[in-house]
Amino acid sequence: MEDIQHVWPVTRVKRGLMEILKRMEEEQSTIALTRNGEAVGVLLTPRRYEALMETIEVLSDQEVLKALVKSAEDFSAGRVFSHEEVWSE
């Protein structure tokens, strides 16, 4: 659970849900919910959820992955263009 900023017991969440939601929104944080010390759920903001779904979509597309690998190879080999070269007339 590397990307989780807070771990809170369910009882605390039940008592302070509105405060927790406000804090999540302000910090764009992810919270793990625990019961008896065991993780039972995760709360994330819509922005983080959408980013996660987009990442999953990209990683599940083999053509996109191939293009990313080729792009990384081109970058490593110095086959790049400057901003000015790309946008000059």
Is there a single domain that holds both residue 51 and residue 78? yes
Residues 53 and 82 occupy one common structural domain: yes
Q: Are residues 52 and 83 in the same domain?
A: yes
Give CA–CA dist 45/24, Å, rounded: 7
- Count of H-run helices and E-run strands, the chain: 5, 3
Q: Is 48 exposed, middle or buried (0-12, 13-18, 19+ CB in 10 A)?
A: middle
What pLDDT score does 7 carry? 76
Cβ atoms of residues 67 and 74 within 8 Å: no
Look up the CATH number of the domain holding residue 15.
3.40.1620.10
What is the DSSP track for 21-40?
HHHHHHHT--EEEEETTEEE
pLDDT recorded at residue 33: 87
Question: How many CA atoms, within 13 angstroms, populate the side-chain half-sphere of residue 75?
Answer: 6
Q: What pLDDT is recorded for position 84?
A: 92
pLDDT score, position 66:
95
Please give the residue range of the domain that contains residue 28: 6-44
Number of independent structural domains in the chain:
2
Task: Judge if 24 and 53 occupy the same domain.
Answer: no
Q: Are residues 37 and 55 in the same domain?
A: no
Per-residue pLDDT of the chain in tens (89 residues, 90 and over written 9): 556 677 777 788 788 888 888 888 898 888 888 888 888 888 899 998 999 999 999 999 999 999 999 999 999 999 999 999 999 87
